[in-house]
Structure 1
């Protein structure tokens, strides 16, 4: 034990001993046994090559002189194989063929060339060096594999996280599109003309069908206003409104207003609206947006300008008064409508005996830029 930890012995490595003489193999085994490593023997070059197919060795001790395939031929085949190309070779021989046989051995990639009989201690020392080198090489290889595996796992985790983020973003986008479709369907079903306007730019983000059909859409879209250059707009005082004074540009500038009166004329048609603007604050990931509502009061304005009210409105006011409820907001709205520059001619209601409605009569003025005497009388009550 050291520092409270138990030291475990390193795992034995394999050593390949190749010699055609059994007694030489026994001598090698006896010499290297004290190292405590795994000793694998082969009595020919071909047998040694078969061992190299299935396992790796820290070092190969190879006899030079062998029948059928000598040590040099065996070494050449060992070097030709990718798996065993870097395995250290130590040649062992008792004979010397040629002038310098060790040179041939080194040329075949040998790390040493020993003559028999060899000194056991020296051989063990040389082999021990290659055992430690093999262990360190294996450690580095395993660490590299572990690092590569960790990197692959990290890469796979990053890919999975990216995929999850993409799925979440796709889900949010789809949810946003569904909400947008739902909002469009809701706004399209509403009878009141409504539009969502982008501040500063004045771009209309969404307008329902009622807003698109009102005054040719020129009150809800900049583009429609550009298409209808002949459209005329008047304010509460009967004077023409510049484009900058129309509800859409005012809303784009961030103005908030209530019951802003606008009279319009386009292609012989006329109408009256009360415009409302409200700021929708930034929320749920959406930027600040302006809500523009355009209440079409053409028919009610024409009716109020004649001094009479439809029976349902009269009954409603009477009901509220009977209940003791406040009728001032409704009567104030009626007064506002009566005081607007009218589309009606100002004739009393009973003059419509021919069956034409006040709204129909209100479209008979030929010059909207110069209100008639009847128009002035209607505006003055």
Structure 2
């Protein structure tokens, strides 16, 4: 930062005055920006920061006091140091007006070069330190902003993790309640005299069959395994024709057909029987997907 070149603004309408200032400031090695009028100086200050403004008092159209007043009224340049340069004699310099419009110092022409360079060097050093503080403050703001964003991200992650944990806990409790409900329902259905079975759509797997369904036709109407174990049991439709696996009431219920009294018969040797099949779809509940309900009414029982 100490080696950084700092611009200096010279405001003078006289070419010889500008040349004298440039020659005086050259040993400092800093860029000198020249403005030939107060308006030109204001344009420079609008787009660039300067360590100090060396401002001639006597200028046409807008003198140094008016220019200094406008510099102080602008937010961007109001803190820029202003040093007045004037050829007026000691008694002619309106010191109170100079300080009133914001000047920090003034020099009489012809000025002592070493004194001017010394004063300018002080303002250059102040500008550097101020810029260093500004950059450090900006860096600190960026660090704090990143820290704030990191903390917000961590907080969001914790909240999201907690939300997922609560959601999983709720689902776990719902599933546990569903399992209790399912066990209670299965225990209740097991004792019913009507043969009932729950079938899984897609796979055709029998999820549950009560005792009455397991005993009807040796369970061949609801279990594929039972049909393989009892090949002697022949299943037929109401027209007495053998039923294929796809045409069994259970398979049709799994495919989504709504059965309303479909007759199925069975026989094995001298034993035979018949049942009326009814089906419906049960919606998903307690974590269990949609299922098919198959009810079988034993014709012999109905006849009795």
TM-score range for the pair, normalised by the shorter chain length: 0.5 to 0.7
Matched, 1:39 2:32: yes
> Which residue among 176, 185, 192 is the counterpart of 2:169?
176
Q: Alignment length, in residue pairs?
A: 188
Instruction: Give the TM-score taking structure 2 as reference length.
Output: 0.59
Q: Structure 2 stretches of 5 or more lacking a match? A: 189-304
1:102 deviates by 2.2
1:60 deviates by 0.2
Other-structure match for 1:133: 126
Shift in CA distance, 96/69, structure 1 to aligned 2, threshold 3 Å: farther
Other-structure match for 2:139: 146
Other-structure match for 2:68: 75
The CA RMSD measured in Å over matched residues stands at: 2.0
> Which residue among 69, 80, 94 is the counterpart of 1:101?
94
Shift in CA distance, 100/40, structure 1 to aligned 2, threshold 3 Å: closer
Higher relative contact order (CA 8 A, sep 6+): 2
> Which residue among 8, 12, 18 is the counterpart of 1:15?
8
1:23 deviates by 1.2
Shift in CA distance, 99/64, structure 1 to aligned 2, threshold 3 Å: closer
Matched, 1:27 2:23: no
Matched, 1:122 2:115: yes
Which SS does the other structure have where 1:110 is aligned?
A: coil
Instruction: Give the TM-score taking structure 1 as reference length.
Output: 0.47
Please show how residues 231-242 of structure 1 align to structure 2 within 5 Å: none
Other-structure match for 1:186: 179
1:31 deviates by 0.4
Tell me the distance in 2 between the aligned counterparts of 1:93 and 1:68: 17
Other-structure match for 2:49: 56
Which SS does the other structure have where 1:87 is aligned?
A: coil
Say whether the 8 Å CA contact 2:2–2:128 is kept in structure 1.
no
Superposed CA offset, 1:292-330 (max 9, x none): xxxxxxxxxxxxxxxxxxxxxxxxxxxxxxxxxxxxxxx
Q: Structure 1 stretches of 5 or more lacking a match? A: 1-7, 194-208, 211-381
Runs of 4 or more off by more than 6 Å in structure 1? none
Tell me the distance in 2 between the aligned counterparts of 1:98 and 1:115: 11
Tell me the distance in 2 between the aligned counterparts of 1:9 and 1:75: 28
Tell me the distance in 2 between the aligned counterparts of 1:69 and 1:100: 17
Superposed CA offset, 1:11-64 (max 9, x none): 101100000001111110110011111110000000000001101111000000
Other-structure match for 1:313: none
1:100 deviates by 4.3
> Which residue among 161, 173, 184 is the counterpart of 2:154?
161
Please show how residues 1-381 of structure 1 align to structure 2 within 5 Å: 10-96=3-89, 99-191=92-184
